[in-house]
C-alpha cells in the first residue's frame, strides 16, 4: 500500500515498513521518527546508518547483535528508540522488520 511520507508516495507494508529501500532518504527517516515521537539526533543517525549497512550486507539484526556491535550499548539503544528499539529503528531506517521481532 502507499503512504505519503516526506512529500512523496512511499510503498509500505501493513505494519508501515518500507517495501522498497530505494525510496528511503533522510527526510523519510526523519518523518517516520517524528510519527513515533522520536526527535532524531546525530546518535540516532549513527545507529540508523549501522542498521542500513547490516541490511545491505544481508546480515541478520538482533538486540544481541546490536549489543556486540560496539556502535551502541543496549541501554542507550532502548533510550534512543523507546518501546521496541529494534522495531522502531529498522522502520525509521527503511529496512524490513527483523525476524527476531514479533
Look up 101 and say whether it is catalytic: yes
DSSP 9-75: EEEB-TTS-BS-GGG--HHHHHHHHHHTT----HHHHHHHHHHHHHHHTT----HHHHHHHSS--HH
Side-chain-facing half-sphere of 86: CA atoms under 13 Å: 19
Given the residues 25, 40, 71, 101, the one annotated as active site: 101
Q: For residues 93 and 62, give the distance between their C-alpha atoms in angstroms, rounded to a whole number.
A: 15
Residues taking part in catalysis:
101
Amino acid at each position: 500500500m502507499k503512504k505519503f511520507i516526506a512529500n512523496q508516495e512511499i510503498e509500505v507494508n501493513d505494519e508501515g515498513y518500507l517495501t522498497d529501500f530505494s525510496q528511503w532518504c533522510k527526510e523519510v527517516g526523519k518523518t517516520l521518527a517524528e510519527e513515533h515521537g522520536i526527535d532524531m539526533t546525530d546518535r540516532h543517525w549513527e545507529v540508523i546508518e549501522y542498521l542500513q549497512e547490516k541490511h545491505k550486507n544481508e546480515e541478520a539484526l538482533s538486540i544481541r547483535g546490536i549489543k556486540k556491535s560496539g556502535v551502541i550499548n543496549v541501554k542507550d539503544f532502548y533510550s534512543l528508540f523507546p518501546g521496541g528499539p529494534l522495531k522502531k529503528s529498522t522502520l525509521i531506517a527503511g529496512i524490513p522488520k527483523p525476524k527476531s521481532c514479533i
